[in-house]
Amino acid sequence: MDVIGASADEIWAVYGSKDLWKLMVKLQPDVFERVNLVAFDGGVGTIIHMVMTPGFEGLRLHDFDVELLRIDHGNKVLVVQQTRGGYLDLGYSFFQITFEILAKDDSSCVIRTTTSVEIDEKFDANASTVAVDQIYGMAKAIAKYVLDNKARKDCSLALGITTPVMKQGKDDKPMTVGVGILL
């Protein structure tokens, strides 16, 4: 999905955040009822229990667990894999999603999502159940969130209300830190 008006760093500030999963409930309350960290703190190895909203029509899933397998801040890559319930209950032996945030220029990027699955052939009838529209919906919600917060931040800066948070970059030049997550 192309994102115009937000850099890869700004989008990654959300995808790479330990608070991403809590934010998803706020951004998509019609999809997610609740999300709980089962083990660890939101970093690699964290197990997250996700519960879909009752009556959610998009999937024949109610709840499932995912594990955060990779959070690569340098390459802006997040990899999650279902470990219990969800697609695994529908005959899939493997269900993994990779999110990559690719810079196009200073104010645009691409959110690339790759879904990798394996399904036992006796469950071939369930092969069409993989729903990418929910993943696309997540990308749209995050992009909108970043752009809305960026617009509020830019408006505040124009009015002289706040100062952007700065940190030292790799080349010892100051750089602006991306959009923070407001829960």
* pLDDT tens sequence across 95-154: 999 999 999 999 999 999 999 999 988 888 888 878 788 889 999 999 999 999 988 876
* pLDDT tens sequence across 50-89: 998 887 655 567 889 999 999 999 999 999 999 999 899 8
pLDDT of residue 167 exceeding 60: no
pTM (2 decimals)? 0.81
* pLDDT tens sequence across 21-56: 989 999 999 889 999 999 888 899 999 999 988 876
For the chain, give the DSSP string.
-EEESS-HHHHHHHHTSTTHHHHHHHH-TTTEEEEEEEESSSSTT-EEEEEEPTT--S-S--EEEEEEEEEETTTTEEEEEEEEEGGGGGTEEEEEEEEEEEEEETTEEEEEEEEEEEE-GGGGGGGGG--HHHHHHHHHHHHHHHHHHHHHHHHHHHTT-----EEE-TTS-EEE--PPP--
